[in-house]
Amino acid sequence: MTAGLVDVHAHWLPTDLFGLPPNSPFGAMHDRDGELFLGETPLSIRTEAMSDVDAIVADMDASGIAVRALSSPPFAFAVDAEAPAGDYTDAYNSALAEVVSDSAGRIAGLGSIRLDDAGAAERQIRALASENILVGIAIPPVLRGTSLDTGVLRSVLRSAAANRMAVLVHPMQLPRPEWAKHYLANLIGNPVETATAVASSILGGVLEEISDLRLCFVHGGGCAPDLLGRWQHAWEARPDVRAGSTASPRELFRTPYFDTVTHDDAALDLLRAHAGAGRIVCGTDYPFDMAEFDVAGFIDRSDLDRAVIAENGRGFLGVDLSSAVHS
C-alpha cells in the first residue's frame, strides 16, 4: 500500500460567507456564471471548487490525497483593526467544523480568528481547542506593519501553542504600486511576505520562546531558503541581528514545517537541504491557479518519501490520521 498524501494547504469558503469580513480591503467575492470573482477581479477558479465539499473530495481522490486540511482563502482573514469580525470568523469556524465532522476523517480544519484584538483572538483559540474538532488556525505573515515577532501575531502564536493548536501562515498578496502589473503582488509579494515572517520568527526569538509551537509556512517558505545564508552571515556579523535570538538561523530553520508548493525541483531540493526532510509537508494551494495540480508526481520526482511526508503532515496537524493516510 502506498501512503496517501496529507495536504495541509488548501482553501474553502462557503457561499454565504463570500461577502468577506467587515471592511475587507479586497471587496466581496461573488459568482458569475460559475466563475469566482474578487470584486471585479476574476480568480480563474470555478465557484464550486472553492465552496463545494464534494468537488474538493473529488479533487483529493484524483490527486492521491487521503486527508486535506482546509483553511479560508487569505482575503477572508479578519485583519481590520477598526471592525471586529468575531461574528464572521465564528460563522466560518462553525461551518468548517460541520464539514470536518461530516467528512469521515478525510478533511481537517484550520479555523479563522479575529486579528484586531489579541485578547479576543485568545478566547476564540481556547474555544476552538475545547471543541476539539478543528486542529488549528490560519493567520497572515504580516499585520499592520508587524510580523510574527511582535503585537497580535506573537500573542496568537503563544495562545495557539498553549492550546495545542497548529498554525498555518499564509500570505495575503498585499498590493504595492511597483507590483501592480504582471501578477507581481503574488509572484514576488507572496514569497516576500512569507520570508518576512520566517525571518521574524527566527531572529525575533519566537521559535525559541514558543518551542512547542506547531508552525507551518506555505509556498516552501517563500524566498526564505534562498536568503538563509545571508541571515546566518548577518547573525554572526552584527550584534543587532543576533540580539533577539541565541540560536543561529540555520539551526532554527529546522524548527517549523514548510509545504511543498515551490513549483521547482531545485527550490524543493534547497528547502530540504536547509529544513530537513522531516519538516516538509505536502501542500497544494487548492483551488487557486497557482496550485500544484500534480502534487503526487512532484513529490515523487523530488525523491521524497510519501510515507514520511504524510507522517510530517500528521505531526503538524497534531492528530491521528493513520486510518486515512493509505490508499
pLDDT digits (tens, 9 = 90+) for 229-262: 999 999 999 999 999 999 999 999 999 999 999 9
Q: Is the pLDDT of residue 325 over 50?
A: no
CA distance 93 to 97: 6
Using CB atoms within 10 Å of the CB of residue 240, give its burial: 0 to 12 exposed, 13 to 18 middle, 19+ buried.
Answer: exposed
Q: What is the three-class DSSP state of 109?
A: strand
CA distance 304 to 194: 23
Average pLDDT over residues 53-77: 96
* Confidence bin at 51 (pLDDT 50/70/90): very high
Ranges 84-88, 217-221, 253-257: which has the least confidence = 84-88
The pLDDT of residue 80 is 84
Residue 70 has which C-alpha cell? 482546509
pLDDT higher than threshold 90 for residue 12:
yes
Does 319 have pLDDT greater than 80? no
pLDDT score at 45:
93
Tell me what pLDDT residue 23 has: 80
Residue 323, pLDDT above cutoff 80: no
Report phi then psi at 69, rounded to 5: -90, 120
> What pLDDT score does 1 carry?
34
pLDDT at 291: 94
Closest CA relative to residue 316, chosen from 266, 288, 263, 275:
275
Q: Are 283 and 9 in contact (CB under 8 A)?
A: yes
Minimum mean pLDDT range among 80-94, 122-136, 212-226 = 80-94
pLDDT of residue 326 exceeding 50, the answer is no
The tens digit of pLDDT for each residue in 184-217 reads 999 999 999 999 999 999 999 999 999 999 999 9
Band of residue 77 on the pLDDT scale cut at 50, 70, 90? very high
Residue 268 parent element (H or E): helix 265-275
Taking 80 as the threshold, does the pLDDT of residue 83 lie above it? no
pLDDT of residue 106: 96
pLDDT of residue 26: 80
Cell of 263: 513549483
pLDDT of residue 321: 53
